[in-house]
Amino acid sequence: MMWSPSLRAFFDTDQLVYQSLPSDLIAIDPAQHAALMAGQAAGLSIIVGQDGAPVLVQPPALTIEQRRATASRKRLPFMRAALEAQHLTPQEFLEGNRGQIPAGPIEEELQRVPEPQRTIWRGEWAGLEEIDRMHPAVEMIRIAKGMTQAQMDALFGLTEGT
C-alpha cells in the first residue's frame, strides 16, 4: 500500500495497475493502513504528518452555524420543548402542533412576509413532520416570540459548547 501526501490518497500498487502515480509515494504497511481506515471509520481524520506519512487526528469541532445547518426535530418534541420552556402558550402549542400558524405574535410576524412566500411558508409548516433549525419559519417564530438564537438552539438540542 502506498500513500501520496500531495494527494492525501492511498494507492494499492500490489493489487491494481495505475496509468500514472504521484512522485511522492510513501510505503505504508498493511497493519498501519488498516489502523488508519479503522480510525477514519470511527470519525477521525487522516492528515499528512510532519514527515509526510498519514496520521489520525480528531476532526475540528463543528461551529454552531454548521450544527444549525443540519439540526432538525420532529414537530411534537419541538413544540413540547417550546411549551415547556414557556416560549409558547398552551394555545400556540396546540395550534402549531396541528400544523397551523398560531394566532398572535407568530401570525403577526408571518403577515410581514410578502406573498407568495407567506402562503408557501404556511403550506410548508402545515405539512412539516420534521422541523429544520434553519427553516425560515423557525426564524420567524424566534423573532415573533422575542427569543435569542441560543434559546431557539436549545429547542433543537444545540448549545454553543457541545
pLDDT of residue 16: 79
pLDDT in tens, 54-89: 999 999 899 999 999 999 999 999 999 999 999 999
Interhelix angle 75-84/90-97, nearest 10 degrees:
170
Exposure string of 58-93, with b = 16+ CB inside 10 Å and e = fewer, is eeeeeebeebbeebebebeebbbbbbeeebbbeebb
pLDDT in tens, 11-40: 998 887 888 999 999 999 999 999 999 999
Question: CA-CA distance, 21 to 23, in Å (whole number)?
Answer: 6
| pLDDT over threshold 90, residue 47 | yes
pLDDT in tens, 111-159: 999 999 999 999 999 999 999 999 988 999 999 999 999 999 999 999 8
Cα-based distances in Å from 119 to 137, 140, 144:
11, 14, 18
pLDDT of residue 162: 52
